Amino acid sequence: MKPYQHIAIRECHEPLVPIPLQQFAVQHPHPYVALGAPYGDRSPYCLRQGVLARLLIAQTALQQHCPGWQIQIFDAYRPLPVQQYMVDYTLEQLVRSHQLTPDHLTAIQRQEFLAQVYQFWAVPNHNPLTPPPHSTGAAIDITLAMADGEPVDMGSPIDELSSRSYPDHYAPAATTTHPSPSHTAFHHHRQLLNQIMCQAEFYRHPTEWWHFSYGDQLWAWLKQQERGEGCVVAQYGRVEGKGGRRKDEG
């Protein structure tokens, strides 16, 4: 178990609602839908109502800093079957990148590769006490888009399995030599993204510059670590039942 999975969940039963996509930049088609992920009649573009309200606050804060810029939504709600599909897909891609075949791995090899995958992907756990963050409707993967609609270069793509995904990878203190102008820009953009999200009370994943959450176990654990509060609980558990419209529009 990861440390944040020990946090208690006190479910508030807030609804999962569609994201008004006209107010954000969005990739079409949804990246996991394009890969064949099994969403069924559920839309990936949904969040808990309170989480969406805070995302809109973050969007306003961004436009005060950079007029015309938008938050670009990569992924939001993710049912357990999709979580399993993406873990399997990522594992296969990782194995093939080492010129190996997934079906011919030894048990030890499989565990070693899975360990790499689980550094960035949550285990698709069916235990309601330890839900993957995205299955709660309280986590979102995002980046920034400029006024002309072009995505901002953040120094690594979302979902990359490497140290470049760590939020402070391009921080001056993490650079052994003088940082290049591009590295400085990458760090500045990551800091800007974090700043606007923090203004809306989100917390960023420790190893993923793109992942933010509000109200789930990871959020509660990060809040506890930052403030030294010993009784923080999560208010969002795994979403049960229907999860919003399947259409990729708000």
Which residues carry out catalysis?
208
Higher pLDDT, 177 or 37: 37
- Residue 175, pLDDT > 80, answer no
Using the Cα atoms of residue 227, residue 232, residue 238 and residue 241 in order, give the sign of their dihedral.
negative
CATH number of the structural domain 3-81+125-227 = 3.30.1380
- pLDDT at position 228, please? 78
Band the pLDDT of 176: cuts 50, 70, 90.
low
Higher pLDDT, 64 or 181: 64
% of the chain with per-residue pLDDT over 90: 87
- Residue 231, pLDDT > 60, answer yes
Q: Determine the average pLDDT of the residues in 227-243.
A: 81
Mean pLDDT, the chain, whole residue set: 93
Annotate the chain with three-state secondary structure: CCHHHHCCECCCCCCEEECCHHHCEECCCCHHHHCCCCCCCCCCCEEEHHHHHHHHHHHHHHHHHCCCCEEEEEECCCCHHHHHHHHHHHHHHHHHHCCCCHHHCCHHHHHHHHHHHCCCCCCCCCCCCCCCHHHHCCEEEEEEECCCCCECCCCCCCCCCCHHHCCCCCCHHHCCCCCCHHHHHHHHHHHHHHHHHHHCCCEECCCCCCEEECCCHHHHHHHHHHHCCCCCCECCCCCCCCCCCCCCCC
